[in-house]
Amino acid sequence: MKEVTPFGMSKKVSTSHAGMTRFAALRREIMSSEISFLMEAHDGLSAKIVEEAGFRGVWASGLTTSAALGLRDSNEASWTQVLDQLEYMADATRLPILVDGDTGHGNFNNVRRFVRKLGERGLAGVCIEDKLFPKTNSFIGEGQALADIEEFCGRIKAGKDSQVDDDFVLIARVEALISGLGMAEALRRAEAYHQAGADAILIHSKRSTAEEILAFTRAWGNRAPLVIVPTMYYATPTAVYREAGISTVIWANHLLRSALVAMRETAARIAEDESLMRVEGQVASVQEVFRLVGNAELEQAERQYLPARPSATAVVLAASGGDLGTLTVDRPKCMLDVRGRPLLGNLVHTLRESGVRDVTVVRGYRKEAVRLDGVRMVDNDRHAETGELWSLACAREAIRGETVITYGDVLFRRHILDGLLRSEADVALAVDSLGATRRPSGTARDLVVADRPFSGDYLDDTPAHLRRIATDIAPADSCGEWMGLFRVSARGAGWLREEMTAMEAEGLLEAADLPLLLTRMAARHPVQVLYFAGHWLDIDTLGDLAEARNLG
């Protein structure tokens, strides 16, 4: 069986965990003698969560899909808008998806077109209810009018005649109990829908106990699989359904409802505190979002399909101990915990996310405490009497091709590093254009003077070039603060080594810092300044360490 992709190319229908098509996987769940469970999802992300939780199928709820769009469960979202959401879900998970098809979005003609489009997108089944279009949610009001039985049977037949795969599942939802029409009418309708070709019957109830559902089950006598939605009678033990021979239980709306509680609580706390301190650490990390949406797969695909370029290496200067009281007595600052991982570990993780995997760390103070898997360690055993440039010289052999050089006590978001790596400059510095203004007076570490300040327009690609980096520059005269991060090309690495050799000959190598090195290089070669606006942090105080936990 084939399905048509949005680009008009055919491909095999995606398979489930068991290697069968998703159509067959859903049919297996519905027809199995063992009870099955489908969990609600309303978008691609929630569908991934359902799969990771271990469910074998997804219920694409009409209520929660509409609510996630900010709409009522009254067919306010068009069927094509619903189809768009469903396609995202089908792309996001390998699980079979049973679609809440409401009334089928109209008469038999709408049903057959809808069923065909679902099948083409790999949606494994649909449940349609015997209501009038546009529908009203079953739990709103009393005595809702139902469709004529013969007319609804026509919708079922049209759907079955239009399915693109023989295993596509069409379930007929009986609303007679919800509408107060009684058990006899519910059974009459269920039998008619079964005879019309429905693969299973969903019997619905809004009572607080399962007595009505169980009475229907006994009277039905297993003529076709029964599906239930125990939203209202949630206290009934699942063992009761299993003993009664229920085919499938749908947990219909609980992911969205739980998300509402969490989002309200988070929003209220942030609004009250005007800070992220109370919520950070209690919410999913940005990295977890990246994992769920498949960033790792994209990176792998980039390596497969994009033109190859030599991999950049990195040198991290982490020889100083830092002065954070008792925290740095037995370990250097770079090994302090930031959200469950050493500061150095977070920094190296960002480097690796951007493809920089060959990392050399220069350690010194309490060097035995500086350990990180997959990282080359170089020791500056004279860290107490030398400066930054001496530490860099200890790793001179690592600076050959394209190299990123960074302090070991800084954190920055990945887009900053990616910007440096994309630069065609031979030497490029990351500069915070807000650096002179966002910090308390006198606390900015390395202020920058360039041949032009940031214009305020991120589309402005006119290059800026370094003139000087120093701590004694007046904030009003500066263009921003250097982030302690720069990148050199292979040619730039040659310039850097030449400058280090010259400074060594002048007796400056032991005590000099990186700002002096870069200022001297800028006098001989073009050193480009790349402007950013925040999204980085250097950890000098306990307050900085606390703030680092919010830099996701």
For the annotated catalytic residues, the residue numbers are: 73
**Which residues, in sequence order, are CB contacts of 532 under 8 Å at separation 6+?**
415, 416, 419, 430, 431, 432, 433, 483
**Which residues, in sequence order, are CB contacts of 450 under 8 Å at separation 6+?**
431, 464, 465, 466, 467, 479, 529
Q: What is the C-alpha to C-alpha distance for residues 181 and 409, in angstroms, rounded to an integer? A: 71
**Helix, strand, or coil here: 271?**
helix
Q: What is the C-alpha to C-alpha distance for residues 552 and 413, in angstroms, rounded to an integer? A: 7
Helix and strand numbers (H, E) in the chain are: 19, 23
**Residue position matching structure tokens 């004279």:** 382
Burial class (CB in 10 A: 0-12, 13-18, 19+), 352: middle
Radius of gyration of the chain (CA): 31
Q: What is the C-alpha to C-alpha distance for residues 232 and 240, in angstroms, rounded to an integer? A: 15
> If you count them, how many residues does the chain have?
552
**Helix, strand, or coil here: 410?**
strand
Torsion 523-410-404-366 (CA) sign: positive
β-strand pairing of 97-100 with 125-129 = parallel
Q: What is the C-alpha to C-alpha distance for residues 315 and 303, in angstroms, rounded to an integer? A: 23
Phi and psi at residue 48, to the nearest 5°? -65, -40
- Percentage helix, strand, coil for the chain under 3-state DSSP, each rounded to 5: 40, 20, 40
